[in-house]
Amino acid sequence: MSIHLENIAKHYGRGGQHQALAPLDLDIRQGELIGLLGPSGSGKTTLLRIIAGLEAPDRQPKGRILFGERDVTHLHVRDRRIGFVFQHYALFRHMTVYDNVAFGLTVMPRRQRPPGSEIRARVHRLLEMVQLEQLANRYPAQLSGGQQQRVSLARSLALRPDVLLLDEPFGALDAKVRQELRRWLRHLHDELNFTSVFVTHDQEEALELSDRVVVMSDGRIEQIDTPEALYRAPSNRFVFEFLGDVNQLEGEVRDGVLTCGDARLDVELPDGPRNLLLRPHEVALEAEPSEAAHLPVSVTAISPVGAEVRVELAADWLPGPWLATVRHADFERLALTRGQRLFAHPRHWHRFTAASHSECHATAPMAG
């Protein structure tokens, strides 16, 4: 089921003084898994609740919400055929896993209710899909947080909704369980091919799960794109800084050289004050400066856990600490230790202009 939002806005407070959503448009294709990503107060949960019918959009400007060809703008939530998964499970504590999943089917009006044999078959199939069939007779208190969230998802899917909506579905779980459930949900989504929209403020979660990510700020959509395109080609500085760690290099450019204290970097930019941004993986570390870059730094912290080594750097010319990620081979070659003096070598940098939100790139020459 595709979703089309047209000119949707939302204000709260007396006289609509607080804007939660500026007028926006959004098209979600059939079978897509869409992540709504943004900081607190960006409007992502309000947008999800409007799609669900739990909130009504402003009457002016006049907007529309379409599920396929069906206009659901003024339909009650119960008539929209949506499944909703909340952060805090919302399971019935006095009911078994089986009864929780079957609940929505058993309370349907008699004329619409499937026969008992079909309900049993559907519930067992769902429990099998969420890998909880052996726990059908347990109660929620006897389950882990991850298992409870899978029950909640199975209950939402039992009614065969046109659209599945998830509000911070893994927010109450620890990091390892979150990662496992993300992989599991992605696999289930691909198997059933339902249309899903989920809210998160976790960048890693959005980039790992989504077909496309909607990045929001102050009630507006900043960018809609695939995870790879968002990370490699952000449309503005907000998106760039929100999607991961960022290092800043501020200085004055004269005759193609940016200087800040005793730091110097060759750049092809007009004269004047400039602010460059770099990802941690775009910063190499060496024992000596190069002709193009003289950026002295000191190592303040090292975290060798994971595929790469995270190195925190400090210097008098830095507006704040820098973070570099290096290969384990480079970590061993440089024999990195706290307090060690090194030189940063930017592989790549980014610059955004406030007026156009366009991005400029430059590749810095490497030493050796």
- Is residue 357 over pLDDT 70? no
Average pLDDT over every residue of 11-16 = 82
Q: How confident is the model at residue 150 (pLDDT cuts 50, 70, 90)?
A: confident
Average pLDDT over every residue of 95-118 = 91
Q: How confident is the model at residue 301 (pLDDT cuts 50, 70, 90)?
A: very high
Residue 213 pLDDT? 97
Residue 180 pLDDT? 82
Our CA dihedral for 134, 140, 146, 149, rounded to 10 degrees, sits at 100
| CA gap 357, 349 in Å, rounded | 16
Largest separation between any pair of C-alpha atoms in the chain: 80
Average pLDDT over every residue of 104-118 = 90
Question: Which CATH class for the 245-363 domain?
Answer: mainly beta
CATH superfamily ID and name for 3-233 = P-loop containing nucleotide triphosphate hydrolases (3.40.50.300)
Residue 235's SS3 state is coil
What number of CA atoms fall less than 13 Å from residue 175's CA on the CB side?
2
Q: How confident is the model at residue 354 (pLDDT cuts 50, 70, 90)?
A: low
Tell me which of 11 and 356 has the higher pLDDT. 11
Q: Which region among 163-177, 194-208, 234-248, 338-352 has the lowest average model confidence (pLDDT)? A: 163-177
pLDDT in tens, 218-248: 999 999 999 999 988 899 999 999 998 999 9
- 73 to each of 6, 36, 62, 352, how far by Cα in Å? 10, 20, 10, 38
Q: Which residues contact 119 (CB under 8 A, 6 or more apart)?
A: 102, 105, 106, 113
DSSP secondary structure letters along 121-157: HHHHHHHHHTT-GGGTT--GGGS-HHHHHHHHHHHHH
Domain spans in the chain, listed from the N-terminal domain onward: 3-233, 245-363
Strands (E), 13-89: 18-28, 33-37, 64-67, 70-71, 82-85
| CA gap 212, 190 in Å, rounded | 14
Note whether 3-233 and 245-363 share their fold.
no
Residue 358 pLDDT? 40
- Is residue 88 over pLDDT 80? no
Average pLDDT over every residue of 283-289 = 96
Residue 145 pLDDT? 86
| CA gap 336, 301 in Å, rounded | 10
212 with 29: CB under 8 angstroms?
A: no
Which among 318, 256, 220, 287 is positioned nearest to 22, based on CA atoms? 220
Greatest mean pLDDT range, 74-78, 312-316, 319-323: 312-316
pLDDT in tens, 48-79: 999 999 999 998 888 999 999 999 999 999 88
